[in-house]
Protein backbone atom coordinates (compact mmCIF):
# COMPACT_ATOMS: atom_id res chain seq x y z
CA UNK A 1 0.00 0.00 0.00
CA UNK A 2 1.32 3.46 -0.87
CA UNK A 3 0.79 5.83 2.02
CA UNK A 4 0.70 9.59 2.43
CA UNK A 5 3.96 10.94 3.87
CA UNK A 6 4.28 10.65 7.63
CA UNK A 7 3.94 14.01 9.35
CA UNK A 8 7.42 14.99 10.49
CA UNK A 9 6.52 15.84 14.06
CA UNK A 10 6.58 13.06 16.63
CA UNK A 11 3.96 12.49 19.32
CA UNK A 12 1.03 12.11 16.93
CA UNK A 13 -2.32 12.04 18.75
CA UNK A 14 -4.47 8.94 18.13
CA UNK A 15 -7.71 10.24 16.60
CA UNK A 16 -9.97 7.49 17.95
CA UNK A 17 -11.02 5.85 21.17
CA UNK A 18 -13.19 6.95 24.06
CA UNK A 19 -11.68 10.41 24.48
CA UNK A 20 -13.11 11.48 21.14
CA UNK A 21 -16.62 10.30 21.83
CA UNK A 22 -17.86 12.67 24.49
CA UNK A 23 -17.11 16.33 25.10
CA UNK A 24 -13.99 17.14 23.11
CA UNK A 25 -13.50 20.73 24.31
CA UNK A 26 -10.81 19.86 26.87
CA UNK A 27 -9.08 17.61 24.34
CA UNK A 28 -8.95 20.40 21.74
CA UNK A 29 -7.52 22.76 24.39
CA UNK A 30 -4.84 20.19 25.20
CA UNK A 31 -3.99 19.58 21.52
CA UNK A 32 -3.85 23.30 20.85
CA UNK A 33 -1.51 23.81 23.80
CA UNK A 34 0.84 21.01 22.74
CA UNK A 35 0.69 21.22 18.95
CA UNK A 36 -0.87 24.52 17.88
CA UNK A 37 -3.51 24.85 15.13
CA UNK A 38 -2.39 21.91 12.98
CA UNK A 39 -2.03 18.68 14.94
CA UNK A 40 -0.22 15.51 13.81
CA UNK A 41 -2.67 12.63 14.36
CA UNK A 42 -2.92 8.89 13.78
CA UNK A 43 -6.08 7.46 12.24
CA UNK A 44 -7.67 4.25 13.47
CA UNK A 45 -5.96 2.17 10.78
CA UNK A 46 -2.58 3.56 11.86
CA UNK A 47 -2.29 6.07 9.00
CA UNK A 48 -0.85 9.49 9.80
CA UNK A 49 -2.77 12.70 9.06
CA UNK A 50 -3.01 16.35 10.08
CA UNK A 51 -5.98 17.59 12.09
CA UNK A 52 -6.66 21.29 11.59
CA UNK A 53 -8.22 22.93 14.67
CA UNK A 54 -7.34 26.57 13.99
CA UNK A 55 -10.21 28.67 12.62
CA UNK A 56 -8.06 30.60 10.14
CA UNK A 57 -6.19 27.49 8.96
CA UNK A 58 -9.47 25.57 8.57
CA UNK A 59 -10.78 28.36 6.33
CA UNK A 60 -7.55 28.25 4.34
CA UNK A 61 -7.89 24.50 3.65
CA UNK A 62 -11.62 24.54 2.86
CA UNK A 63 -11.38 27.58 0.60
CA UNK A 64 -8.48 26.28 -1.53
CA UNK A 65 -9.55 23.05 -3.22
CA UNK A 66 -6.63 23.22 -5.68
CA UNK A 67 -4.05 23.00 -2.94
CA UNK A 68 -6.17 20.85 -0.61
CA UNK A 69 -7.99 18.48 -2.92
CA UNK A 70 -10.70 15.90 -2.27
CA UNK A 71 -8.96 13.69 -4.85
CA UNK A 72 -6.40 11.48 -3.07
CA UNK A 73 -4.84 10.18 -6.29
CA UNK A 74 -3.61 13.51 -7.62
CA UNK A 75 -0.48 13.37 -5.53
CA UNK A 76 -0.32 9.81 -4.29
CA UNK A 77 -0.67 7.99 -7.61
CA UNK A 78 -3.13 5.31 -8.76
CA UNK A 79 -2.03 2.61 -6.27
CA UNK A 80 -2.79 4.72 -3.23
CA UNK A 81 -5.42 3.38 -0.82
CA UNK A 82 -7.15 6.26 1.02
CA UNK A 83 -7.59 5.60 4.75
CA UNK A 84 -11.16 4.46 5.48
CA UNK A 85 -11.55 6.88 8.38
CA UNK A 86 -11.54 10.00 6.18
CA UNK A 87 -14.64 9.30 4.10
CA UNK A 88 -13.59 8.85 0.49
CA UNK A 89 -15.93 7.06 -1.94
CA UNK A 90 -14.82 7.00 -5.57
CA UNK A 91 -17.27 8.61 -7.99
CA UNK A 92 -19.45 10.11 -5.26
CA UNK A 93 -20.27 13.80 -5.49
CA UNK A 94 -18.33 14.66 -2.35
CA UNK A 95 -15.19 12.91 -3.61
CA UNK A 96 -15.09 14.64 -7.00
CA UNK A 97 -13.16 17.78 -7.80
CA UNK A 98 -12.98 20.50 -10.44
CA UNK A 99 -15.37 21.02 -13.34
CA UNK A 100 -17.29 17.72 -12.98
CA UNK A 101 -17.93 18.39 -9.31
CA UNK A 102 -18.99 22.00 -9.96
CA UNK A 103 -21.48 20.88 -12.62
CA UNK A 104 -23.02 18.13 -10.50
CA UNK A 105 -23.19 20.03 -7.22
CA UNK A 106 -24.44 23.11 -9.13
CA UNK A 107 -27.38 21.08 -10.45
CA UNK A 108 -28.23 19.90 -6.93
CA UNK A 109 -28.02 23.47 -5.60
CA UNK A 110 -30.20 24.82 -8.44
CA UNK A 111 -32.83 22.15 -7.89
CA UNK A 112 -32.89 22.81 -4.14
CA UNK A 113 -33.04 26.58 -4.67
CA UNK A 114 -36.43 26.21 -6.33
CA UNK A 115 -37.96 24.63 -3.23
CA UNK A 116 -40.67 26.95 -1.92
CA UNK A 117 -39.70 27.51 1.71
CA UNK A 118 -43.25 28.45 2.69
CA UNK A 119 -44.56 25.16 1.34
CA UNK A 120 -41.61 23.35 2.91
CA UNK A 121 -42.58 24.69 6.33
CA UNK A 122 -46.12 23.34 5.79
CA UNK A 123 -44.78 19.93 4.72
CA UNK A 124 -42.48 19.83 7.76
CA UNK A 125 -45.43 20.56 10.07
CA UNK A 126 -47.43 17.77 8.42
CA UNK A 127 -44.59 15.23 8.74
CA UNK A 128 -43.82 16.29 12.33
CA UNK A 129 -47.48 15.88 13.30
CA UNK A 130 -47.65 12.52 11.59
CA UNK A 131 -44.58 11.25 13.48
CA UNK A 132 -45.76 12.64 16.83
CA UNK A 133 -49.16 10.94 16.28
CA UNK A 134 -47.34 7.59 16.38
CA UNK A 135 -46.09 8.10 19.95
CA UNK A 136 -48.05 10.98 21.56
CA UNK A 137 -50.32 8.62 23.51
CA UNK A 138 -47.44 6.62 25.00
CA UNK A 139 -45.98 9.19 27.43
CA UNK A 140 -42.37 8.23 26.66
CA UNK A 141 -40.19 7.73 23.60
CA UNK A 142 -36.64 7.87 22.26
CA UNK A 143 -36.78 11.06 20.20
CA UNK A 144 -33.64 10.24 18.15
CA UNK A 145 -35.01 6.95 16.81
CA UNK A 146 -38.66 7.91 16.40
CA UNK A 147 -38.47 11.59 15.53
CA UNK A 148 -35.15 13.34 14.82
CA UNK A 149 -33.90 10.66 12.40
CA UNK A 150 -37.17 10.26 10.56
CA UNK A 151 -38.06 13.90 10.01
CA UNK A 152 -35.26 14.89 7.55
CA UNK A 153 -35.59 11.76 5.43
CA UNK A 154 -39.38 12.13 5.20
CA UNK A 155 -39.07 15.79 4.24
CA UNK A 156 -36.23 15.26 1.75
CA UNK A 157 -38.08 12.28 0.23
CA UNK A 158 -41.18 14.46 -0.19
CA UNK A 159 -39.03 17.23 -1.74
CA UNK A 160 -37.62 14.72 -4.22
CA UNK A 161 -41.09 13.68 -5.30
CA UNK A 162 -41.20 10.21 -3.70
CA UNK A 163 -44.70 8.81 -3.25
CA UNK A 164 -45.89 8.76 0.39
CA UNK A 165 -45.84 4.96 0.45
CA UNK A 166 -42.04 4.93 -0.09
CA UNK A 167 -41.11 7.64 2.41
CA UNK A 168 -40.85 5.66 5.66
CA UNK A 169 -39.01 2.80 3.91
CA UNK A 170 -36.39 5.22 2.53
CA UNK A 171 -36.03 6.90 5.96
CA UNK A 172 -35.43 3.48 7.54
CA UNK A 173 -32.93 2.42 4.84
CA UNK A 174 -30.93 5.64 5.22
CA UNK A 175 -30.63 4.93 8.92
CA UNK A 176 -29.50 1.34 8.28
CA UNK A 177 -26.88 2.60 5.78
CA UNK A 178 -25.54 5.20 8.20
CA UNK A 179 -25.07 2.51 10.88
CA UNK A 180 -22.71 0.72 8.45
CA UNK A 181 -23.57 -2.79 9.67
CA UNK A 182 -23.85 -5.91 7.52
CA UNK A 183 -27.46 -5.08 6.52
CA UNK A 184 -26.24 -1.78 4.93
CA UNK A 185 -25.77 -3.38 1.48
CA UNK A 186 -29.38 -4.64 1.37
CA UNK A 187 -30.59 -1.16 2.37
CA UNK A 188 -28.44 0.37 -0.39
CA UNK A 189 -29.87 -2.03 -3.00
CA UNK A 190 -33.44 -1.19 -1.90
CA UNK A 191 -32.62 2.56 -2.00
CA UNK A 192 -31.22 2.40 -5.55
CA UNK A 193 -34.30 0.39 -6.66
CA UNK A 194 -36.70 2.99 -5.25
CA UNK A 195 -34.72 5.82 -6.89
CA UNK A 196 -34.55 4.04 -10.26
CA UNK A 197 -38.36 3.69 -10.18
CA UNK A 198 -38.71 7.36 -9.22
CA UNK A 199 -36.50 8.43 -12.15
CA UNK A 200 -38.60 6.33 -14.53
CA UNK A 201 -41.87 7.81 -13.17
CA UNK A 202 -40.62 11.42 -13.30
CA UNK A 203 -39.40 11.01 -16.88
CA UNK A 204 -42.90 10.01 -17.92
CA UNK A 205 -44.65 12.58 -15.75
CA UNK A 206 -42.46 15.38 -14.36
CA UNK A 207 -43.72 17.30 -11.33
CA UNK A 208 -42.80 20.27 -9.13
CA UNK A 209 -40.07 18.34 -7.35
CA UNK A 210 -36.28 18.13 -7.04
CA UNK A 211 -35.96 14.89 -9.03
CA UNK A 212 -37.95 16.27 -12.01
CA UNK A 213 -35.77 19.39 -12.00
CA UNK A 214 -32.54 17.37 -11.90
CA UNK A 215 -33.75 15.27 -14.84
CA UNK A 216 -34.54 18.45 -16.75
CA UNK A 217 -30.99 19.87 -16.50
CA UNK A 218 -28.41 19.14 -19.16
CA UNK A 219 -25.74 17.73 -16.80
CA UNK A 220 -24.74 14.78 -19.00
CA UNK A 221 -24.68 12.35 -16.07
CA UNK A 222 -25.95 8.77 -16.11
CA UNK A 223 -28.90 7.60 -14.01
CA UNK A 224 -26.45 5.73 -11.78
CA UNK A 225 -24.49 8.93 -11.13
CA UNK A 226 -27.71 10.81 -10.47
CA UNK A 227 -28.74 8.18 -7.89
CA UNK A 228 -25.33 8.58 -6.22
CA UNK A 229 -25.79 12.36 -6.08
CA UNK A 230 -29.24 11.89 -4.55
CA UNK A 231 -27.74 9.52 -2.00
CA UNK A 232 -25.25 12.23 -0.96
CA UNK A 233 -28.08 14.76 -0.71
CA UNK A 234 -30.34 12.52 1.39
CA UNK A 235 -27.59 11.08 3.59
CA UNK A 236 -26.01 14.55 4.07
CA UNK A 237 -29.36 15.93 5.07
CA UNK A 238 -30.55 13.05 7.21
CA UNK A 239 -27.72 12.41 9.65
CA UNK A 240 -26.66 16.03 9.98
CA UNK A 241 -30.13 17.50 10.37
CA UNK A 242 -31.17 14.68 12.74
CA UNK A 243 -28.18 15.43 14.96
CA UNK A 244 -28.85 19.15 14.74
CA UNK A 245 -32.42 18.49 15.99
CA UNK A 246 -31.21 16.08 18.69
CA UNK A 247 -28.37 18.28 19.98
CA UNK A 248 -30.66 21.33 20.09
CA UNK A 249 -33.39 19.46 21.96
CA UNK A 250 -30.77 18.23 24.43
CA UNK A 251 -29.59 21.80 24.99
CA UNK A 252 -33.15 23.06 25.46
CA UNK A 253 -34.06 20.23 27.83
CA UNK A 254 -30.97 20.58 30.01
CA UNK A 255 -30.09 24.27 30.10
CA UNK A 256 -32.10 26.55 32.40
CA UNK A 257 -31.87 29.44 29.97
CA UNK A 258 -34.08 27.50 27.56
CA UNK A 259 -36.10 25.58 30.14
CA UNK A 260 -37.54 28.85 31.36
CA UNK A 261 -38.98 29.58 27.96
CA UNK A 262 -39.57 26.03 26.74
CA UNK A 263 -43.31 26.32 26.25
CA UNK A 264 -43.54 30.00 25.39
CA UNK A 265 -40.29 31.25 23.95
CA UNK A 266 -40.24 30.77 20.21
CA UNK A 267 -37.23 33.03 19.73
CA UNK A 268 -35.17 30.71 21.89
CA UNK A 269 -35.45 27.84 19.37
CA UNK A 270 -33.50 29.84 16.79
CA UNK A 271 -30.97 30.84 19.43
CA UNK A 272 -30.52 27.25 20.59
CA UNK A 273 -30.14 25.99 16.99
CA UNK A 274 -27.36 28.49 16.33
CA UNK A 275 -25.65 27.92 19.66
CA UNK A 276 -25.45 24.19 18.84
CA UNK A 277 -23.63 24.98 15.58
CA UNK A 278 -20.85 26.49 17.71
CA UNK A 279 -20.84 24.23 20.75
CA UNK A 280 -22.11 20.82 19.59
CA UNK A 281 -21.91 20.96 15.83
CA UNK A 282 -23.31 17.84 14.08
CA UNK A 283 -20.30 17.44 11.73
CA UNK A 284 -17.19 17.55 13.93
CA UNK A 285 -14.78 16.85 11.06
CA UNK A 286 -15.20 17.43 7.31
CA UNK A 287 -14.28 14.62 4.90
CA UNK A 288 -10.51 14.37 4.22
CA UNK A 289 -8.46 16.50 1.87
CA UNK A 290 -5.06 15.76 0.33
CA UNK A 291 -2.31 18.36 -0.15
CA UNK A 292 -1.50 18.54 -3.87
CA UNK A 293 2.03 19.88 -3.24
CA UNK A 294 4.40 20.74 -0.41
CA UNK A 295 3.12 23.74 1.50
CA UNK A 296 2.98 25.43 4.87
CA UNK A 297 -0.04 25.53 7.15
CA UNK A 298 -0.24 27.01 10.63
CA UNK A 299 3.56 26.94 10.89
CA UNK A 300 3.79 23.27 9.83
CA UNK A 301 5.42 21.87 6.75
CA UNK A 302 2.83 19.82 4.88
CA UNK A 303 4.09 17.44 2.19
CA UNK A 304 2.29 16.82 -1.09
CA UNK A 305 0.05 13.76 -0.54
CA UNK A 306 -0.47 14.29 3.22
CA UNK A 307 -3.98 13.70 4.55
CA UNK A 308 -5.66 16.76 6.07
CA UNK A 309 -8.77 16.56 8.27
CA UNK A 310 -10.52 19.81 9.03
CA UNK A 311 -11.87 19.66 12.56
CA UNK A 312 -14.90 21.92 12.21
CA UNK A 313 -15.73 21.63 15.92
CA UNK A 314 -12.13 22.35 16.91
CA UNK A 315 -11.93 25.34 14.56
CA UNK A 316 -15.15 26.82 15.96
CA UNK A 317 -13.67 26.40 19.47
CA UNK A 318 -10.48 28.30 18.51
CA UNK A 319 -9.98 30.93 21.26
CA UNK A 320 -8.91 33.40 18.56
CA UNK A 321 -12.56 33.51 17.43
CA UNK A 322 -14.27 32.31 20.61
CA UNK A 323 -13.14 35.35 22.55
CA UNK A 324 -15.23 37.54 20.27
CA UNK A 325 -18.17 35.14 20.11
CA UNK A 326 -18.35 34.10 23.75
CA UNK A 327 -21.72 34.77 25.33
CA UNK A 328 -23.28 35.57 21.97
CA UNK A 329 -22.99 32.36 20.02
CA UNK A 330 -26.78 32.33 19.59
CA UNK A 331 -26.59 35.35 17.29
CA UNK A 332 -23.23 34.90 15.54
CA UNK A 333 -23.25 32.94 12.28
CA UNK A 334 -19.51 32.84 11.51
CA UNK A 335 -19.16 29.18 12.63
CA UNK A 336 -17.82 26.52 10.26
CA UNK A 337 -20.62 24.03 10.89
CA UNK A 338 -21.52 23.82 7.17
CA UNK A 339 -17.93 23.97 5.89
CA UNK A 340 -17.17 26.52 3.18
CA UNK A 341 -15.66 26.71 -0.32
CA UNK A 342 -16.29 24.38 -3.28
CA UNK A 343 -17.23 21.42 -1.08
CA UNK A 344 -19.15 23.27 1.59
CA UNK A 345 -22.78 22.33 2.23
CA UNK A 346 -24.30 23.77 -0.97
CA UNK A 347 -26.50 26.83 -0.76
CA UNK A 348 -29.47 26.66 -0.01
CA UNK A 349 -29.15 23.35 1.90
CA UNK A 350 -28.29 25.02 5.25
CA UNK A 351 -31.44 27.18 5.01
CA UNK A 352 -33.61 24.19 4.16
CA UNK A 353 -32.05 22.21 7.02
CA UNK A 354 -32.87 25.05 9.38
CA UNK A 355 -36.53 25.07 8.30
CA UNK A 356 -36.69 21.30 8.92
CA UNK A 357 -34.91 21.44 12.30
CA UNK A 358 -36.75 24.52 13.58
CA UNK A 359 -40.18 23.19 12.57
CA UNK A 360 -39.44 19.76 14.07
CA UNK A 361 -38.59 21.36 17.41
CA UNK A 362 -41.41 23.91 17.43
CA UNK A 363 -44.10 21.35 16.57
CA UNK A 364 -42.77 18.95 19.19
CA UNK A 365 -42.86 21.63 21.90
CA UNK A 366 -46.37 22.69 20.84
CA UNK A 367 -47.72 19.16 20.91
CA UNK A 368 -45.89 17.92 24.03
CA UNK A 369 -45.32 21.08 26.11
CA UNK A 370 -44.07 19.28 29.25
CA UNK A 371 -41.56 17.06 27.42
CA UNK A 372 -38.55 16.32 29.68
CA UNK A 373 -35.56 13.99 29.80
CA UNK A 374 -36.35 10.48 31.03
CA UNK A 375 -32.79 9.94 32.31
CA UNK A 376 -30.27 12.18 34.09
CA UNK A 377 -28.33 14.33 31.61
CA UNK A 378 -25.04 12.52 32.42
CA UNK A 379 -26.54 9.24 31.20
CA UNK A 380 -27.10 10.50 27.64
CA UNK A 381 -24.67 8.69 25.33
CA UNK A 382 -22.97 10.15 22.26
CA UNK A 383 -22.52 8.02 19.14
CA UNK A 384 -18.98 6.63 19.10
CA UNK A 385 -17.65 8.51 16.07
CA UNK A 386 -15.02 11.21 15.82
CA UNK A 387 -16.50 12.97 12.80
CA UNK A 388 -20.11 13.09 14.07
CA UNK A 389 -21.61 14.72 17.14
CA UNK A 390 -24.93 13.02 17.71
CA UNK A 391 -26.79 11.32 20.54
CA UNK A 392 -27.22 7.54 20.49
CA UNK A 393 -30.66 8.08 22.05
CA UNK A 394 -32.74 10.91 23.55
CA UNK A 395 -35.24 9.25 25.92
CA UNK A 396 -38.00 11.63 27.07
CA UNK A 397 -41.26 11.58 29.07
CA UNK A 398 -44.35 13.73 28.63
CA UNK A 399 -48.02 13.74 29.54
CA UNK A 400 -49.71 11.35 27.10
CA UNK A 401 -51.76 13.30 24.60
CA UNK A 402 -55.05 12.44 22.94
CA UNK A 403 -54.26 11.87 19.26
CA UNK A 404 -56.32 13.29 16.41
CA UNK A 405 -54.79 11.61 13.34
CA UNK A 406 -53.10 14.11 11.00
CA UNK A 407 -53.02 11.72 8.02
C1 LIG B 1 -31.41 19.84 3.83
C2 LIG B 1 -30.36 19.37 4.47
C3 LIG B 1 -28.99 19.21 3.86
C4 LIG B 1 -28.64 18.92 2.56
C5 LIG B 1 -29.57 18.71 1.37
C6 LIG B 1 -27.18 18.86 2.52
C7 LIG B 1 -26.44 18.59 1.38
C8 LIG B 1 -25.06 18.51 1.34
C9 LIG B 1 -24.30 18.10 0.16
C10 LIG B 1 -24.89 17.70 -1.18
C11 LIG B 1 -22.98 18.16 0.50
C12 LIG B 1 -21.79 17.82 -0.40
C13 LIG B 1 -21.18 19.05 -0.99
C14 LIG B 1 -19.96 18.76 -1.82
O15 LIG B 1 -19.12 17.94 -1.45
O16 LIG B 1 -19.80 19.42 -2.82
C17 LIG B 1 -22.91 18.62 1.88
C18 LIG B 1 -21.75 18.83 2.58
C19 LIG B 1 -21.71 19.20 3.88
N20 LIG B 1 -22.79 19.49 4.70
FE21 LIG B 1 -24.71 19.46 4.21
N22 LIG B 1 -26.68 19.12 3.78
C23 LIG B 1 -27.75 19.33 4.62
C24 LIG B 1 -27.69 19.61 5.97
C25 LIG B 1 -26.53 19.82 6.67
C26 LIG B 1 -26.46 20.11 8.09
C27 LIG B 1 -27.66 20.23 9.04
C28 LIG B 1 -25.13 20.26 8.40
C29 LIG B 1 -24.49 20.57 9.72
C30 LIG B 1 -25.02 21.35 10.63
C31 LIG B 1 -24.37 20.06 7.18
C32 LIG B 1 -23.00 20.15 7.07
C33 LIG B 1 -22.28 19.82 5.96
C34 LIG B 1 -20.83 19.76 5.93
C35 LIG B 1 -19.89 20.07 7.10
C36 LIG B 1 -20.47 19.36 4.65
C37 LIG B 1 -19.06 19.08 4.11
C38 LIG B 1 -18.27 20.33 3.97
C39 LIG B 1 -16.88 20.08 3.51
O40 LIG B 1 -16.45 18.96 3.21
O41 LIG B 1 -16.18 21.08 3.45
N42 LIG B 1 -25.26 19.80 6.15
N43 LIG B 1 -24.19 18.84 2.36
- Alpha-carbon distance of 200 to 172, in angstroms, equals 22
Domain that holds residue 335: 13-397
Give the pLDDT score at 16: 81
Residue 244 CB–ligand 1 contact under 6 Å: yes
In a domain, 402, yes or no: no
This prediction has a pTM of 0.93
> Tens digits of per-residue pLDDT, 273-309?
999 999 999 999 999 999 999 999 999 999 999 999 9
For 198, residues 6+ apart whose C-beta sits below 8 A from its C-beta are 160, 161, 162, 166, 211
> Tens digits of per-residue pLDDT, 164-185?
889 889 988 887 887 777 888 9
In a domain, 139, yes or no: yes
CATH number, domain containing residue 334: 1.10.630.10
In a domain, 31, yes or no: yes
pLDDT category of residue 397 using cuts at 50, 70 and 90: very high
Residue 22 CB–ligand 1 contact under 6 Å: no
- Alpha-carbon distance of 175 to 235, in angstroms, equals 9
Residue 338 CB–ligand 1 contact under 6 Å: yes
In a domain, 121, yes or no: yes
**Domains: count for the chain:** 1
- Contact criterion met (CB below 8 Å) for 71 and 95: yes
In a domain, 368, yes or no: yes
Question: Measured in angstroms, how far is the CA atom of residue 189 from the centroid of ligand 1?
Answer: 23
Give the pLDDT score at 54: 96
Average pLDDT (360-389) is 92
In a domain, 381, yes or no: yes
Average pLDDT over the chain, rounded to whole? 89
Which of 65, 93, 95, 236 best tests ligand 1's pocket when mutated (most atoms within 8 Å of CB)?
236
Average pLDDT (27-51) is 91
| Number of other CB atoms surrounding residue 336 within 10 Å | 25
In a domain, 127, yes or no: yes
In a domain, 4, yes or no: no
In this structure, is the dihedral angle defined by the CA atoms of residues 214, 217, 222 and 223, taken in order, positive or negative?
Answer: positive
> Tens digits of per-residue pLDDT, 180-227?
778 889 999 999 999 999 999 999 999 999 999 999 998 889 999 999
> Tens digits of per-residue pLDDT, 304-353?
999 999 999 999 889 888 755 545 565 677 899 999 999 999 999 999 99
Amino acid sequence: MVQGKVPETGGAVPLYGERFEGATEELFREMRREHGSVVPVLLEDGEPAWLVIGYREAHQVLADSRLFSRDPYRCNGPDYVPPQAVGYTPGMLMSLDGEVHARRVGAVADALAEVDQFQLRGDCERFADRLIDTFAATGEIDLMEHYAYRMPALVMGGMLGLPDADLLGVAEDMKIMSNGREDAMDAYIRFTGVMARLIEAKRVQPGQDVMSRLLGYDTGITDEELIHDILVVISGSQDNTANWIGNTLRLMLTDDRFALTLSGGRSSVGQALNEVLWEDTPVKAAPGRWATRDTELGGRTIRGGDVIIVGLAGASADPRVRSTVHGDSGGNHAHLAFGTGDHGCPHPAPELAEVIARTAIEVLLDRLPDVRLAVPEEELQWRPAFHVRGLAALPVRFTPAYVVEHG
